[in-house]
Amino acid sequence: MGSDFRAPDLSEGDPTVVLPGDLILEYDPEKTQDRIFLGPGLRWQDKTITATKCGLLRKTPKKIYFIDSQQKRYVPEKRDFVVGIILKKRGDFYMIDIGASMAATISYLSFENASKKTRTELDVGDLIYGKLIVANKHMDPELVCIDSYDRAMGMGRLPDGGILFTVPLHVARLLIKPDNPFLHNISKKITYTIVVGLNGRVWVKTAREGEMVAVMNAILLLEVMSMEEANKKVLKVLESFI
């Protein structure tokens, strides 16, 4: 019935806007040697791939199909870097709010140089930056603050004196894109430290409080305008705040 939707030609051009229920392509692994990967927002059933979210349908050169949608609520995914808030301590674990439907846990041994004798003490309300190693819909998510070589690599407790704010998830993804000049543009005016969690939490620290507010407002621009527009306006916005 969604008759004005044509299955998109994915080989070129701008990404298509899709709605739930739209047929993306027919795919039968028994008939073709082609292997494809499905990312968020797509479902394979009865030999067809359909969309389950609305958003822009994208395809990477490595044949990963996914829907880039504007969402505010975080659903944990394995290997995501997130910013969490310590809720409480329970035995050998801390409970952490990462903005998902359930609190995540982190073992006190999952920090750099932590042992049973030298444990990292964290207080309720502390912020931590970590990586999800367990994230599936049937289990509580679990974080770690070390990589597979036991190094912190920037993860761990965030220092005092910064500010934390929330942005929609697509803004967080946009900010950490390697080819995105936005954060560099801000650094032309202000020296700052930034931590972006894929759960939409952004932490910023600068020398002066006014500058933090300026950076925060610059980033919040992305919620209402496109990247190109925001890149043009960012310096003006920063100037108006400092």
Q: Which CB atom, from 50 or from 217, has the smaller least distance to another protein?
A: 50
Residues 48-67, one symbol each (x = binds another protein by CB under 8 A, - = not), give --x-xxxxx-----------
Q: Out of 227, 231, 235, 241, which residue is the one contacting another protein (CB under 8 A)?
A: 227
What 3-state class would DSSP assign to 11? coil
Cα–Cα distance measured from residue 131 to residue 98, given in angstroms and rounded to the nearest whole number: 11
Retrieve residue 121's tokens: 């003490």
In this structure, the number of other CB atoms found within 10 A of the CB of residue 96 comes to 24
Task: Give min distance, CB of 95 to another protein, in A.
Answer: 12
Q: Does 5 bind another protein (CB under 8 A)?
A: yes
String of b and e for 10-34 (b: at least 16 CB within 10 Å)? eeeeeebebeeebebeebeeeeeee
Task: Give min distance, CB of 46 to another protein, in A.
Answer: 12
Cα–Cα distance measured from residue 62 to residue 58, given in angstroms and rounded to the nearest whole number: 12
Which one of the spans 2-10, 82-90, 105-113, 146-154 is the region binding another protein (CB under 8 A)? Answer: 2-10
Q: Does 39 bind another protein (CB under 8 A)?
A: no
Task: Give min distance, CB of 224 to another protein, in A.
Answer: 8
Cα–Cα distance measured from residue 36 to residue 59, given in angstroms and rounded to the nearest whole number: 10
Q: Which CB atom, from 156 or from 197, has the smaller least distance to another protein?
A: 197
Strand order in the sheet with 192-196: 163-166, 201-206, 192-196
Burial class, 128, CB count within 10 angstroms (exposed 0-12 / middle 13-18 / buried 19+): buried
Cα–Cα distance measured from residue 24 to residue 49, given in angstroms and rounded to the nearest whole number: 5
Q: Out of 47, 60, 63, 73, which residue is the one contacting another protein (CB under 8 A)?
A: 73
Cα–Cα distance measured from residue 18 to residue 25, given in angstroms and rounded to the nearest whole number: 12
Q: Out of 9, 12, 228, 236, which residue is the one contacting another protein (CB under 8 A)?
A: 228
Q: Does 4 bind another protein (CB under 8 A)?
A: yes
Retrieve residue 47's tokens: 């030999």
Q: Out of 70, 113, 187, 193, which residue is the one contacting another protein (CB under 8 A)?
A: 70
Task: Give min distance, CB of 228 to another protein, in A.
Answer: 7
Q: Does 88 bind another protein (CB under 8 A)?
A: no
Task: Give min distance, CB of 190 to another protein, in A.
Answer: 25
Task: Give min distance, CB of 205 to another protein, in A.
Answer: 25
Give the footprint of another protein on this chain (CB under 8 A): 1-5, 17, 19-21, 41, 43, 50, 52-56, 69-73, 75, 101-102, 137-138, 225-228
